[in-house]
Amino acid sequence: MTLDAVLAHIDETLPEALERLNDLLRIPSISTDPVYKDDCARAADWLAADLTALGFDAAIRPTPGHPMVVAHGQGPGTGDGRHLLFYGHYDVQPVDPLNLWHRDPFDPVIEDTPNGRVIRARGASDDKGQLMTFIEACGAWKAVHGSLPGKLTIFLEGEEESSSLSLVPFMKEHAAELTADIALICDTSLHEDKYPAITTMLRGLVQEQITIHAANKDLHSGVYGGAAANPIRVLTKILASLHDDQGRVTLPGFYDDVDELPDAIRAQWQALPFDHAKFLGDVGLSVPTGELDRTPLEMLWSRPTCEFNGITGGYTGTGFKTVLPAEASAKVSFRLVSRQNPAKISAAFRAHIRAMLPPDCRAEFANEGNNPASVMEITDPAFEAARTALTEEWGLPAAYVGSGGSIPIAGYFKSVLGMDAMLVGFAKDDDQIHSPNEKYDVESFHKGIRSWARILARLS
């Protein structure tokens, strides 16, 4: 009964909720461009005011970059009585190239499309629309019951699209204040654009740049070719040695800390609708290229990789130049899973290369980032409770899914604050986040609010 009243209120007041979202979308809070510094502050102010109106004790908290918004709320618990922390970010990506937008990115509009109504604006999906689903759920609860649903902390960042430089220092400084029983994050997607999903595994990432040096200057291949070391040849030999014929990474110990998928998750993934032919076909491919004995979803979510993201050496312009270059370099990244240690993988990579270096050659390394994988403890009953809530709302079985990419905040909640994070989001693959004409489905917004109301009813 309690929940039903809240859901009904959400349905009745959707137009007003959309208006509030549009107000926030009108603020061009592009965090990476200093020109929009005041706009970022305005967005933080707007959110603090909105949260204050709902009964939160909300404050703007300065950082060396853009401010954080931290809000604490307390109401009678409605379910398991957990202290929940919700994280989102109010900053958005730049809008270039502006000429590819069909309208002003900061003049939001509700558009009718062949696939339903959408909210069109920069940030509609990433992340203003998603974070407002949670705030609106709290607001609906407050409107119906006069109080917030349990003990809540809301933590909103303004630097997610510009490297989150202030995030970890702020979390460390305010660890006690920010620690809750579990973190909720709304920055992910529906599975296959329609199944509600909780992301429980995120891959980590090691980024290494390697440069091979040989001669002390570029040489002419007519004079030196056949006798002088060629760094491109050395580099390609090294890179080619990093995968075996089965698609496995050859670094010694690479798989030591890789856990096999728990049976429960494996069974779910096997049952999960995933059109891998379409997934690859959309980008002109047809055959998965990872480890031969793994399914495509495993390759993407639960298996580590070694990828080459860039390579350069010698003459790369038009025409030809018979140069033997003095150096060649590559950017190599590893997606990590389970308990793989970034520093250990980085060290194994460098040792492998040093062992393969021929005479006269020297390797220079630069680490460009290390993040471990995040694996949530789904034995916490909160996960099953949320899954049930999502299944009820969407009428389709909610799934535990993985993510091939990294969402560093999830790792920080674990490493800095010792909290697991539950990632629930309602974005779709065609939301054009980071691209022109970003949108968020009105259905995602509406059912997203309802989803959080259901989850809050069970957890808080």
Instruction: Output 224 or 255, the one with its CB closest to its own copies.
Output: 224
Least distance in Å: CB of 295 to its own copies?
10
Q: How far is CA 409 from CA 371, 386, 422, in A?
A: 10, 20, 11
**What residues numbered 300-319 form the site for its own copies, per CB under 8 A?**
300, 303, 305, 307-316, 319
Q: Which of 151, 146, 144 is nearest to 75 (CA)?
A: 151
- The DSSP bridge partners found for residue 329 are 211, 312
Which residue number, 149 or 408, has a Cβ lying nearer to its own copies? 408
Residues between 221 and 280 that touch its own copies (CB under 8 A): 221-230, 232-233, 235-237, 239-241, 243, 276, 279-280
Which pair of structure tokens corresponds to residue 323?
């140069």
Residues 82-121 that bind its own copies (CB under 8 A): none
Q: For residue 72, give the amino acid letter.
A: H
Collapsed DSSP state (helix, strand, coil) of residue 235: helix
Listed in sequence order, the residues at least 6 apart from 47 whose beta carbon sits closer than 8 Å to its beta carbon are: 24, 58, 69, 90, 135, 156
Rank residues 155 and 301 by Cβ distance to its own copies and give the closer one.
301
Instruction: Please choose, from the candidates 217, 209, 210, 207, the residue with its C-alpha nearest in 3D space to the C-alpha of residue 314.
Output: 217
Which residue lies nearer to its own copies by CB, 110 or 228? 228
Interactions with its own copies, residue window 162-221 (CB under 8 A): 203, 205, 207, 209, 214-217, 219-221
Is 51 an interacting residue with respect to its own copies (CB under 8 A)? Answer: no
Shortest distance in whole angstroms from residue 208 CB to its own copies: 9
- Is-contact 403 203, C-beta < 8 A? yes
Residues 127 and 434: beta-carbon distance below 8 Å: no
Residue 312 C-beta: closest distance to its own copies, Å: 4
Nearer to its own copies, 288 or 425 (CB): 288
Question: 439-458 mask for its own copies (x: CB under 8 A)?
Answer: --------------------
Structure tokens at 347: 């060290």
Out of 21, 51, 58, 299, name the contact with its own copies by CB under 8 A: 299
Among all chains, which residue has been given the structure tokens 């312009």?
A: 317
Beta strand 197-202 with 421-424: parallel, antiparallel or unpaired?
antiparallel
The answer to whether the CB of 385 falls within 8 A of the CB of 79 is yes
Applying CB under 8 A, among 321, 339, 343, 379 the residue interacting with its own copies is 321
Q: Which is nearer to its own copies, 113 or 322 (CB)?
A: 322
Query: Is the separation of the CB atoms in 9 and 106 below 8 Å?
Result: no
129/427 Cα distance (integer angstroms)? 9
Shortest spacing between CB 88 and its own copies, in angstroms = 20
Binding flag, residue 79, its own copies (CB under 8 A): no
Decide whether 82 or 213 has the Cβ nearer to its own copies: 213
| Complex with its own copies: residue 57 or 360, whichever CB lies closer | 360
Cis peptide before 127 (omega within 30 of 0): yes
Residue 426 in tokens: 């309602």
Specify the 3-state DSSP secondary structure of 49. helix
| Per CB under 8 A, 296 contacts its own copies | yes
In the complex, the smallest distance separating the C-beta of residue 245 from its own copies, rounded to whole angstroms, is 10
Among residues 135 and 265, whose Cβ is nearest to its own copies?
Answer: 265
356: closest CA among 241, 450, 189, 263? Answer: 241
Q: Looking at residues 348 to 377 of the shown chain, list those that interact with its own copies (rule: CB under 8 A).
A: 358-360, 368-369
Site for its own copies in 10-39 (CB under 8 A): none
Per CB under 8 A, contacts with its own copies among 382-421 are: 403-406
